[in-house]
Amino acid sequence: MKQNLVIVESPAKAKTIEKYLGKEYKVLSSFGHVRDLPKKGLNIDVANRFKPTYAVSPDKTKVIKELKAAVANASDIYLASDEDREGEAISWHLAQALKLDVKTTKRIVFHEITKSALEQAIKNPRTIDINLVDAQQARRILDRLVGYELSPVLWKKVRTGLSAGRVQSVSVRIIVEREREIKDFEAKSFYKVTAELKNKNGEISATLDKNLDSKADVINLFNKLKDSQLIVSSIDKKPGKRSPGAPFTTSTLQQEASRKFGFSPRQTMSVAQRLYEGGHITYMRTDSTTLSSLAIEMANKYILDNFGKDYAHSVQYKTKDNAAQEAHEAIRPTDFHKTSISGENQEVKLYKLIWERALASQMAPAQIEKTELKIKIPGSTNYFLAKGEILVFPGFFKVYGSTKDDVILPPIANGESLDLVKALATESFSKPPARYSEASLVRKLEELGIGRPSTYAPTVSTIQSRGYVEKVDIEGKNKEINLLKLTGNNIEESIESIVTGSDSNKLVPTPVADITTDFLKKYFKDILDYRFTAKVEDDFDKIADGKEDWQTMLDKFYKDFHPLVEKSESATREEVSKAKHLGPDPKTQQPIIARFGRYGLMLQRGETESEDKPDFAPFPEGFTLDDITLEAALKMFALPRIVGKTDDGEDIIANIGRFGPYIKIKSTFVSIKDKDPFKITLEEAKVIYGEKLEQIANKYIVEFPSGVKIANGPYGPYITDGKKNARINKDTDPKTIKEKQAIELLKKAPAKKKFKRKKKK
């Protein structure tokens, strides 16, 4: 008996769906995309209206064979990939690869994996939406054109192995420009003044209405406060409220998961994907904040049953005009009565976050009572402000958000006099713009209209893996600040040391990001323009809506883009590498040049074009291309430095390499980690070298006559014959392994992956 065949893109999703649909349906997975532009070559016929040449991915040949066999034995075929452009493209490619009629093959979509949603989808199939496919094709082809033509330019002008992309390169620019803002920022000092006041009913904490510019201003204020009666000039009591946020979109979920759990965008999307495939949440790639009427009704019932009618406040959130790519809902639980799930810790935490946010969005605002006292200072235009806040009704705080401790002011009357207990002025400094975290970068991309929900996580990941950006912890710096304290009529001054500027998990550009950004801004201004990049996204939206032809859109883009590639050929390597002439070497009179090289910043003595080969030196730590000095550069040419000789009479040479400082004895390189190559002593070098020799001597635990050896490795003992390696079980003592057993383990071990050097184009 023939079954209905449903094809999805994920095996986990297939398993969940098959459970709901029953025996009449067979559900198989395509394991993602089955066809794409082959990796080698452009595979786009630009002259023939950008006609792409697609091919079945090598790793999907077996999958297609199995799906073809299933298609031959199926009564009805349903393509059920995700409900977005990429999902539509997967279905279209499947139809092409399986030789299905695109015009008649049934396409079903659903934004949650529940029995009712699946049954509704089966009852209302449609055909493949070619507009959505074309929008995805346009994105894929445009990004291939940019990457294929722009990346080789970077290889020639900046460094091999780099890549460029429409969204990727703009993201790098955002981070580079923020870092430059921070560098150019000049901190200004100011004084924040607080006071402890009291009346007969209790104490009051107050803050001066504005910060003071200087210590002289503080002393002037303190002199006015001496022996003065402070008067309550106004009391303002008013109700306030705090409303819940909208349910999560892809972007806001990534930001909140980062803030609360420290998840990266990619990590958040991976966990959310598992929750979706398990039938726990709706589709997680969305820029919509709307909820279905069914979801609102379900949430309302849960709130009424568990909190009462005062807490229920159904509301439909509007999505920004330029946002919603497809008719998705916001991210929400498929069942509001499922307050928690079982599973991995990350899944449990993320589900709870989604459940709380979605439910809170349908709850009443929290009611606050705010009190503000204005306290007049005789002889001064400044005044103190004291604020009190009481939570009258928790509303949505019952499930989401934090309720701060109530700040309750003591009973007080307008015109009442207050006594000053003490006043404190703390010197502070204005702060530069904050560096981006992964989550705040996603928020910035969304604000600028760059990228879409499916692109945020891979973009943030790519700019790090390509070496443009590093995620680092910023060390703070010690800073001395002035404190002034007024108690009674006495003004006390003191100095306190604080640590400022420390931060964690921030995105910082590498030197190659600076150079690449400046090069692209000069020669590919439009590609790095925020508005242009956002406009391209709008063009894709128009294609998806059937309002623009994808090939016409690409033609307009390419006519402007390709001439820029040709023009960039005129750029010299010296210009691109931002070579900076520091001055002449006092001894040789040769120019000292700081520039960007293959592995990063470097120093050069002599001209590349001269007959004599130039000397090179590592770039000093703590300097950038902008602030490197001739003095600091000259010091580096003292390397390599001969520290002394070993007991065998071999030179011990200290230097700095690509991976940090090291010593070299003949052909043996030994890292000296945190030691300074300019200062390391002969005794220290001998100790480090001795430890290395001991490590080498102890490398092999057992050596068999056949040439097979059991060696100590960084991850534990292993078996090797020089060509293959085999792991040893942690519970096994490597000394007990016999030769025959070692050979058998090697036979079963997978072959080493061969490293293939990329050919230069």
Neighbours of 607 (CB within 10 A): 12
Q: Structure tokens of 172? A: 């790098």
User: Which contacts qualify for 516-521: CB closer than 8 Å, 24 or more apart?
Assistant: 516/154, 516/158, 516/162, 516/164, 516/169, 516/172, 516/468, 517/169, 517/172, 517/173, 517/176, 517/177, 518/578, 519/154, 519/157, 519/158, 519/568, 519/571, 519/576, 520/150, 520/164, 520/169, 520/173, 521/173
- DSSP secondary structure of 331-391: B-BS-TT-----S-HHHHHHHHHHHHHHHHTTBPPEEEEEEEEEEE-TT-S-EEEEEEEEE
CA distance 245 to 242: 9
CA distance 315 to 736: 70
Active site residue 283: yes
Instruction: Give the residue from 450, 453, 557 showing the smallest Cα distance to 87.
Output: 453
Catalytic residue among 25, 276, 283, 311: 283
AA letter at 486: L
Residue 537 phi, psi (nearest 5) = -65, -40
β-strand partners of 72:
none
Neighbours of 101 (CB within 10 A): 9
> To which H or E segment does residue 192 belong?
strand 189-199
β-strand partners of 472:
506
Distances from the Cα of 561 to the Cα of 528, 564, 663, angstroms: 12, 5, 49
Beta sheet of 641-645, edge-to-edge order: 641-645, 651-657, 660-665, 668-671
Q: Structure tokens of 725? A: 């390696």
Residue 17 phi, psi (nearest 5) = -65, -40
Distances from the Cα of 8 to the Cα of 110, 121, 126, 330, 474, angstroms: 12, 13, 16, 22, 44
> To which H or E segment does residue 75 belong?
strand 74-79
How does DSSP classify residue 397? Answer: G
CA distance 746 to 757: 27
SS3 551: helix
Q: Which residue has the tokens 């700095």?
A: 656
AA letter at 675: K
Q: Structure tokens of 470? A: 């590093």
Instruction: Give the residue from 235, 326, 322, 320 showing the smallest Cα distance to 286.
Output: 326
640 upstream amide cis, omega within 30 of 0: yes
CA distance 410 to 420: 15
CA distance 497 to 413: 41
Q: Structure tokens of 248? A: 């999560």
Q: Which residue has the tokens 């726990």?
A: 280
Which residues participate in catalysis according to the annotation? Answer: 283
